A and B are shown apart, each in its own frame.
Chain A
């Protein structure tokens, strides 16, 4: 499937490097995927593969459902979505001000403290927003 790329190749490359640095700096992070609102994988670490493509699609579905829920509940736009399991967690964060709308999915193992992971992921989002905004 040819992935339509809404962003410039240079921006995507820079985003890819941010994801890599993030994963290397946070040892419990298993997977990070930057995803367009309609579920296309833009960048991923480890590099693009069948798993990252599926995570991209699933995270955009969940993000859209969360959005539908917060809209229904009158809570406004949702910023993030957290899924905790016995062995790990998945976080989906909305990036601000990217056109088209983009989100970041982070999959990590349990050893990571969730609060720290969210904080680190938010910082990564800020870097990505800057990179993609250029």
Chain B
């Protein structure tokens, strides 16, 4: 890592997150939170220290792409550097200062370093920093999921454990794994799978910081396990038959992305209809392989599925009387999904 020499004083940079005046989109909020959480996670690893400030004092201002252009131009004319957050997924980054949500941590890190150099007015020879690589790696993911599972098994609600990455605590887990606490920004990162990348260490502490969000343990484990890997969790066996014990609360766990929700629903419904091995399920659930595997990983990490010991009885399906659409059910569902998504403005 290109750590500054001890004698060298660290520069302090101010950065402002500009909330759009007309903030009617959850995604914008998430994007800003994600950026905020990354600043938090990066503390101490960047060349300079980045501190949140009001726009007037900022060196860099982060705006949403829908921000009024005269406001942005005014900021530019005051010599401020502008970073644009785009929430249009299809959008290509217009330039190197545009981040398309959900942006990876590595991209934010290198952008910060680049802005820093720009502010210095010096061109430092680019050396790859160690931190982004560490954050991008997935190799410790299962160990964190495993650690949380172990905590749950230990069932000790009397203590708290703090979860630290290399720069300090980011999350607190109760000793029975049934509750967790963190900032809104960290939670956003958790839901997007951008928290679990860095090596996380657990340490026993008295109580969490004040003023944090408080969520159920399933939520922590679900998202960590879902995002951990696009291959099977180490404890899952491709040819073992699993059955659904109960449905996870998708009202809480869904991340608001229709494709992910539909895929998760299909996998869970397929397992509910008939106990299956992951291999069989991939054929039956009609979702992308990666979605099926991730959903299975999350289901198993949280204990929503279990191994069927004996040969599975074929599911007894009670017939019921309902009308059949002219075009067949699958066409109906395609149309219905499209219809509902359009109505919800996605």
Query: So, do A and B actually touch in the complex, CB under 8 Å?
Result: no
